Structure 1
């Protein structure tokens, strides 16, 4: 669910939406969300002063209240 949201949100922003990929690595209490995108889209996904990625984090933090998991998100360029 969270991976789908992050992927759809990123695809709306990205110039190369077909390159967007999301992986989730879950632990006991923390899950790491890895958002992969084209190098030219990294700045767009992070946003000016981190506002775009901050918006994604805000929505994800609401999920913590629901399932008790903490989420971290990392944006990385496709290699």
Structure 2
């Protein structure tokens, strides 16, 4: 799943080397924390959050086969 998130985000940003995905796994959920360069935040979030929503939609759909709920947090 980390590779999927990186594959989606890296072409969108100016500093792909700063893209980092960490995962935190609990009993019934997996939280992926996406970190990008501060100047690339607007590109990842998009106008009115449309890009972020699209990324989340793809990640949630890809993770729907797993037994755990998947969350994606976007931060600097």
How does the TM-score come out when normalised to structure 1? 0.87
Summarize deviations over 1:4-62 as a string: whole Å, max 9, x none: 11111111101100111100111111111110110000111011111111111111221
Please name the residue that 1:22 is paired with. 21
- Greater fraction of residues in helix: 1
SS of 1:5 mapped into structure 2: helix
Counterparts of 2:28 and 2:44, CA distance in 1: 26
Structure 2: stretches of 5+ with no match in the other structure: none
CA RMSD in angstroms, aligned pairs only: 1.1
What's 2:61 paired with? 62
Q: Once superposed, which parts of structure 1, at least 4 consecutive aligned residues long, lie more than 6 Å away?
A: none
Check conservation: 2:60, 2:71, Cα contact below 8 A.
no
- When structure 1 is superposed on structure 2, of 57-66 and 21-30 the one drifting more is 57-66
The TM-score normalised by the length of structure 2 is: 0.91
Contact 2:33–2:72, Cα closer than 8 Å, also in 1: yes
